[in-house]
Amino acid sequence: MPITVAADPRCFPRRGALEPRRTALVVIDMQKDFCRAGGYYEAIGGDPGRLSVVVPTIAAVLAAARRTGLRIVHTRVGRRAEAWAGSDAPGADACGPMGRHLVRGEEGWQIVPELAPGEGEAVVDKGATGAFHGTDLDGLLRRWGVDGLVVCGVTTAICVSTSVREAHDRGYEVLVLGDACAEGDALSHAAALASFQLENGLLATVAPAAAFIAALGRLP
């Protein structure tokens, strides 16, 4: 019997069989600037603890994906140092204990060490909320022969949501791991996940990380 992931509102993938060679895990923006005190997210009034809570769940997903041989992509959002405005106001242009917020090369821009990319895993640097806009992600996935994406990371309603919509518009089938995504506001998190599932999961299906890990464990 073909192995699929139990998801809402239907199983993933639609084609009826989970195939590692055609599937990639995309981990969105698990950076210190979002998940650690003193970073960008805290500077704009957010609680980084609400985002870092998913780190252990994503670590478990990564471990399962690595055992199975899935392609893995990590994204980082940040501007070039040359484009940094240098404002003292809180936000993307401010400095903190981890350096200039969301500036490439600074400590805060780095991925948290618990989720550090492994050997052979792709890292896509982006300057906007979506993982596809202005990057080579689409070309990379097509060279790999991937047409199914499993997405997790932060934040659910912004960078994850934009990336899911970009993926759908490019013809990818998407599974979002709901409890491996985080947002500062619980209502916004829930609304984003619900929006993916509209029209029978037009944009994406949604499943808990455990369901995805369990499906990988059933693969031969």
What domains does the chain contain, in order, with CATH numbers?
A: 20-218 (3.40.50.850)
Known catalytic residue at 35: no
What pTM does this model have?
A: 0.96
For residue 90, the model assigns a pLDDT of: 54
Say yes or no to pLDDT of 81 above 90: no
pLDDT tens for 60-70 read 999 999 999 99
Catalytic residue among 11, 29, 32, 181: 29
- pLDDT value, residue 89: 47
Residue 82 has pLDDT above 90, yes or no: no
Local confidence band at 192 (pLDDT 50, 70, 90 cut-offs): very high
pLDDT of 181 above 80: yes
| Residue found under tokens 């405005």 | 85
Q: Report the percentage of the chain scoring pLDDT > 70.
A: 95
Banded model confidence at residue 91, pLDDT cuts 50, 70, 90: low
Catalytic residue among 32, 33, 93, 126: 126
Strands 95-96, 99-100: parallel, antiparallel or unpaired by DSSP?
Answer: antiparallel
Q: What is the pLDDT of residues 106-161, one digit of tens each?
A: 999 999 999 999 999 999 999 999 999 999 999 999 999 999 999 999 999 999 99
* Cα dihedral 37, 39, 42, 47 sign: negative
Please, what sign has the CA dihedral across residues 123, 170, 207, 182? positive
Strand, coil or helix: what is 10? coil
**Known active-site residue 159:** yes
Give CA–CA dist 122/92, Å, rounded: 25
32 catalytic per annotation: no
Catalytic residue among 11, 35, 152, 159: 159
Closest CA to 133 of 85, 193, 77: 77
Average pLDDT over residues 91-105: 86
Stretch 49-73: mean pLDDT, rounded? 98
